[in-house]
Chain A
Amino acid sequence: MSDDDDRRLLERIAKRDRVAFETFFRAHGSSVHRFVRDLVRDDGLAEELTSDVMVEVWRSAGKYGGRSRARTWVFGIAHHKAIDALRKRRATLVPLDELLGAASDAETPEAAVLRADERRRLEDALTSLSPEHRAVLELTYVEGFSQKEIADVVDCPVATVKTRAFYAKQRLRDALATAEHPR
């Protein structure tokens, strides 16, 4: 779905169009859910937060000024709510087995390329990172956001985004190396 489509949907949502809301939810709900789940590492909390984010979209669609892409705006709300939730409560880690088991039901051909032990190491390594580093990795490599867009989402200067992206990758590499050759 293009940014123009998203903007039109937000305009309709601002006029209380429930069909537009449902369309917008189906277009972005999954990626928002995945993003907040990666940040908070808690399935139950991620579900609550996804619902909160989308209800906030419904409430605040009239506030969207169009200065950034609609998707960036939604991810900004999601990031804010996830970090807020992490501050409020210490997130319970989801057992890795559960994550892998849940993922196996909907495994795509691309995902099948990753062997189970590689995925396990990647999950472990991601879990060891800070939420800020996980957010930057997800937004850079999965969502394909630019530095400026990530700065808008996580509400910090572009220079900080660049530094975080650099160190996030370093930390991930260190964590993966430690998992492969435990001391």
Chain B
Amino acid sequence: MMKHEIAELLPFYANGTLDPADRARVEAELSSCTDCAAELRELEALGTSLKSRADGAAPMPDHILDNALARIATPATARAATRLQTAWWGTPARYATAAALVVGFGASAFAAYHAHELATSQSTEAVRVGAPQQITRADTLVYRADDKNASKVHRSMSAGNPQGAADTTAQAAAPPAEAKQHRLAKTARIEILVRDVEGALRRAQSAVRGAGGDVTALADASPRTEGAVHGASLTVEVPASRLDGTLDTLATLGTVQNRAIDAEDVDAAIVDEEARLRNLRREETDLRKLMDKGGKVDEILTVQQNLSDVRGQIEQLDATHQHDLHRVATSTITVTLTEDRPNAVPAKPGPSARIDGAWHSGLNALADTVMSFLTTIVWCIAYAPVPLALAGAAYAATRFIRTRGATAT
């Protein structure tokens, strides 16, 4: 009977990679165990078969090397590789970046939470006193890179603090400068308060057409009641080179509430598509040559089917490629126009309005109380495992002490 530990070592004895001690153990066993010797013969035969099979396998197609060479020629790949082999400061710099990201994320989360709380309280307050709703303004600039080395730049600037926005932009000047070297698909959005929505809409369309762009979607929500606010939104496409200029022109329509630009690096995707298209076209040419040679009907049908598949792939990939190129050549802007009404002086409310107000305030307070109560219950449920675990531990400890006491007694 062969020992299991020897059986597990035999494959590596057969391929000659065992260390001297294990090799000696196996050889000692082989001299006395006929099953082990038979097993070894089987393993050697298996090794020969697998090696012969590997030697006889189809050679690697050359286009894989072409594809890899095309891919490493892309700036994104080359830049990533350069970063990986940086000098002595490379590792500390990466750790510092990671630490900065963690701290930055924590600070952003805290700031977002704080801003949300502030906005909620201001909004509630504004509704209660009948004043127009205030919009909280914040300046943020985020730079991030995903796992495919594609980079995205998101910039949000408010009109309320241009100095702060400029400072933030200057501090993060390096990442956008790097992103400019690549083909970027840019989208932007701008929210503007205007006195006359219809007039602003006409001027916006005129500005877009003047920049060589066009309107792709338009939604104009006219007010149905006297107190409702008139709003409209339109989506436009402009040449990428005219994006900043068009945004500046649109900003003159009224008071800018929010202005943001997103840029996605599609350079690596485009280069990859081009390499794959080249390979597919080469394959198509080869298949056409095979078709021209002729042969049996079933062979011709097979080649024809393959040709049809390759053509389908080329057309699909070409459409994606053209779409990506279009995204680079043109930028999409979403413009939101909201009517900006001068704050009316609130009339002194009469008795019925005051009763009505008191009723609504009471309802609001009741809703707040119910929501707070429900929130508390949910928190209690979420934290329940902690006190339960503590109680369980305390109970177990008490039982243990009592049992020990009883045993001692």
Contact = CB atoms under 8 A, between A and B. Distances in A.
Given A16-B81, A21-B72, A141-B50, A33 B60 contact: yes
Nearest to A167: B8
Contacts of A14: 81, 84-85
Given A16-B82, A47-B64, A166-B8, A55 B59 contact: no
Contacts of B72: 18, 21, 55, 58
Greatest chain B CB density within 10 A among A16, A21, A58, A107 is at: A58
A63 B85 CA distance: 7
Contact of B17 (A55, A147, A163): A147
Contact of A59 (B46, B61, B80, B86): B80
A144 B58 contact: no
A105 B59 CA distance: 9
Contacts of B8: 162-163, 165-166
A29 B66 CA distance: 12
B301 to A, nearest CB: 16
B15 A144 contact: yes
A140 B12 contact: yes
A22 B69 CA distance: 8
Interface residues of A, number: 57
Given A142-B50, A146-B17, A173-B42, A106 B59 contact: yes
A113 B65 CA distance: 31
A127 interface: no
B33 to A, nearest CB: 16
B270 interface: no
B56 A107 contact: yes
Given A16-B78, A47-B61, A54-B68, A60 B84 contact: yes
Contacts of A51: 64, 67-68, 71
B12 A108 contact: no
Nearest to A163: B8
Contacts of A145: 15, 17
Contacts of B11: 140-141, 165-166, 169
A146 B19 CA distance: 9
A15 B4 CA distance: 48
Contact of A62 (B16, B18, B55, B85): B85
B59 A138 contact: no
B12 A142 contact: no
B57 A34 contact: yes
Given A29-B60, A33-B60, A162-B8, A141 B17 contact: no
B348 to A, nearest CB: 68
Contacts of B46: 137, 141, 169, 172
B147 to A, nearest CB: 11
Given A114-B56, A141-B46, A147 B65 contact: no
Contacts of A47: 61, 63-64, 67
A62 B79 CA distance: 13
Nearest to B275: A51
Interface in A1-24: 14-16, 18, 21-22
Contacts of B52: 108, 110-111, 113-114
B12 A61 contact: no
A25 B65 CA distance: 7
A45 interface: no
A110 B52 CA distance: 6
B9 interface: yes
25 contacts: A14-B84, A15-B85, A34-B54, A59-B77, A59-B80, A61-B81, A63-B84, A106-B57, A106-B59, A108-B56, A110-B51, A112-B56, A114-B49, A114-B52, A114-B53, A119-B56, A138-B54, A140-B12, A140-B15, A141-B51, A142-B51, A144-B15, A144-B16, A146-B18, A169-B42
Interface of B: 4, 7-9, 11-12, 14-18, 42-43, 46-47, 49-61, 63-65, 67-69, 71-72, 77-78, 80-82, 84-86
Interface of A: 14-16, 18, 21-22, 25-26, 29-30, 33-34, 37, 47, 50-51, 54-55, 58-63, 99, 102-103, 105-108, 110-114, 118-119, 122-123, 137-138, 140-142, 144-147, 149, 162-163, 165-166, 169, 172-173
Given A34-B54, A58-B72, A110-B55, 18 more contacts: A16-B81, A30-B59, A51-B64, A51-B71, A54-B68, A55-B68, A55-B72, A60-B84, A62-B81, A62-B85, A108-B56, A110-B56, A111-B52, A138-B50, A140-B11, A140-B47, A141-B46, A166-B8
